Amino acid sequence: MSRSRVVVLEILLFLFSAVIIGRLFYWQILKHSDFTVAAQSQIENTVQVGAKRGKIFAADGSILVSNQRAFLMYSILPEIRKLRQKDESYDDFVKTISEKIAPILLKEKIAVREKVSQSEKDNIWDEIRTNISFQLHQPKLIWVPLAKKINEDTKKQIEAFHIKGIGFEEDTERFYPEGNLAANLLGFVGKDNKGDDKGYFGLEGYYDDKLRGRVGTLIQEVDALGRPILAADPEGLGTLNGMDLHTTIDRTAQYVLDKKIKEGVERYGAKSGAALILNPRTGALIASSSFPTFNLADPSGAKNEYFKNLGVGEVYEPGSTFKSVTFSAALDSGSIQTSTICPCKGPIKAAGFEVQTFDNKYHPNSTITQILQHSDNVGAAFAAQKMGIDVFLKYIKDFGFGASSGIDLQGEETGIIKNRSDWNEIELVTAAFGQGLSVTPLQMVTALAAISNDGVLMKPYVVQKITSPKGEVDFSPKKERQVIKSSTAATMRQLLLAAVEGGEAKRLIPHGYRVAGKTGTAQVPVAGRYSTKTVASFVGFGPAEDPRFTMIVALFEPSASIFAADTAEPLFFKIIEELYPYWGIPVSK
């Protein structure tokens, strides 16, 4: 071979090698990261492992809220479109699919509701069909959701149609073994704007970050068939299930309260009603009921106002129940004594206004006991005038009014107590009988709990323990402050017992129940003026000598009678008639 041919061959070999090396450099060095990613996607399987939302337990360990298996039904549009017949329009095709699936979805939707009218059924039916039609008509999407949180039975019935292009993804939904028990206290789980589960109202809302946990990812090496290879521990961020909440709620007391408040609202023709029971020694919330309420399994059908826990979220003028605060303050500050006599001859004049009694009857030379028994506004104003604004306002704030109690429930309101600079004589006298300021039922019952707890105000709370696989956290009762002296509290307990036993509704009190408390019939302000509508409430504790519970019952705008003595007070006693035997509290003979 001539020398020139050898050289050409060498050059060609060199060029060929250079090309090979160049390509190798390109693929192995420059494109290294791309191929690493591609290789990883082939040999690694990344799975998102959903976190289970934490459960909520009653004080006796029974489950109030748990989780159950549910499914998301979706459609792969290119697949489902293949099922369309050639001479069938797409609208008709979608209608056919919808008519197969929609009845099954409708059946599940109405099964969770107690009563469903025909018009509600029609509305739900339209909603389901419209949604399916809308999703199946999406022009640019491949995957569309058709229904969320459907149960296993519904899934199996739809699977029986063998509609190619419809699939199911596993999910969970909340399960309520006690039905709608304590609905407003518990709250519900909806979706946030990312489509993730989120708690709203009550405990679900307040403790959402603890209940939801953390979704984990699992990265495993897999073989060609997708089976995991046990070469090393799988990597990834571990799933953290939500924490469980252990509450102070007494399931039986809650059940009785829910039933009785509903009956009371209906019997007395009220717009709504609320009740709270506290343990005065610890501040633990034993039960909390609100009516009207909503269906926990299907909150979408309820009006927005039904989600509010009226016990913590409704603000109202407390009326004569506030006299328990007025006289506690007046006695504790030394402004009056138990032997003090009120002239109470007629209306009191203050800042150009006249303060009258609710029935325009006057009781000259009344004792403190008589003032409370007659629920005498003039007597209360007299006590407030003896204190003065600064002393009275200090006690009002010390009792917790005008501020958040810090209870662990979403939706708490603080009520309105005017600033010192806005107080004058008329505010002083009207506040004495609970008008011109606004409070929540929780604030009122917490204040009375302080009176029944030797003057010590305890912070109200619902969750006593939070548990997780990592451990548990216990919450101890918290003493806020000594509001009044224990001697003053003892005196007030006797006065409030006398107020019940000698009050207007004494004939309605079941025999032997030694309960101390106070009625309150407060006019409701409408457009700056007081209307004929009222909030009728009764706040009390028992047994009077050694209180084990404090309870408030409030009926908003009752129509059967506007007075608490005819509505809230008898309802209070109906509730404790059922609870006393359960709690083992003896009734005096």
Shortest CB 230 distance to other proteins, Å? 4
> In the structure encoding, which two tokens stand for residue 104, read together?
């099954």
> In the structure encoding, which two tokens stand for residue 500, read together?
């019940």
Q: Write the CB contacts of 316 (distance below 8 Å, at least 6 apart in sequence).
A: 438, 439, 440, 441, 522, 524, 535, 554, 556
Backbone phi and psi for residue 357, each to the nearest 5 degrees, phi listed first: -80, 165
Shortest CB 546 distance to other proteins, Å? 8
Bridge partners (DSSP) of residue 550 are 278, 541
> Toward other proteins, which CB reaches closer, 148 or 281?
281
> In the structure encoding, which two tokens stand for residue 343, read together?
């002239």
> Toward other proteins, which CB reaches closer, 167 or 477?
477
> Toward other proteins, which CB reaches closer, 59 or 426?
59
> Toward other proteins, which CB reaches closer, 267 or 281?
281
535: helix, coil or strand? Answer: strand
Shortest CB 477 distance to other proteins, Å? 6
Q: Are strands 244-247 and 56-57 parallel, antiparallel or unpaired?
A: parallel
> Toward other proteins, which CB reaches closer, 453 or 521?
453
Shortest CB 51 distance to other proteins, Å? 13
Is the CB of residue 240 less than 8 Å from the CB of residue 248? no
Shortest CB 195 distance to other proteins, Å? 23
Shortest CB 455 distance to other proteins, Å? 17
> Toward other proteins, which CB reaches closer, 1 or 231?
231
Rounded to an integer, what distance in angstroms lies between the CA atom of residue 148 and that of residue 114? 21
Rounded to an integer, what distance in angstroms lies between the CA atom of residue 415 and that of residue 57? 30
Residue 20 identity: I
266: helix, coil or strand? Answer: helix
How many angstroms separate the most distant Cα atoms in the chain?
142
Shortest CB 549 distance to other proteins, Å? 7
In 3D, which of 320, 301, 255, 281 has the Cα closest to residue 124?
Answer: 301
> Toward other proteins, which CB reaches closer, 21 or 229?
229
- How many angstroms separate the first and last alpha carbons of the chain? 132
> Toward other proteins, which CB reaches closer, 280 or 558?
280
Q: Write the CB contacts of 14 (distance below 8 Å, at least 6 apart in sequence).
A: none
Rounded to an integer, what distance in angstroms lies between the CA atom of residue 162 and that of residue 331? 78
> Toward other proteins, which CB reaches closer, 160 or 229?
229
Shortest CB 586 distance to other proteins, Å? 4
Shortest CB 222 distance to other proteins, Å? 8
Residues that bind other proteins in the complex, under the rule CB under 8 A = 59, 62-63, 66-69, 175, 177-179, 181, 222-223, 227-231, 250-252, 255, 279, 281-282, 284, 286, 477, 543, 546, 548-549, 578, 580-581, 583-587
Bridge partners (DSSP) of residue 272 are 556
Q: Which helix (H) or strand (E) holds 499?
A: helix 486-501
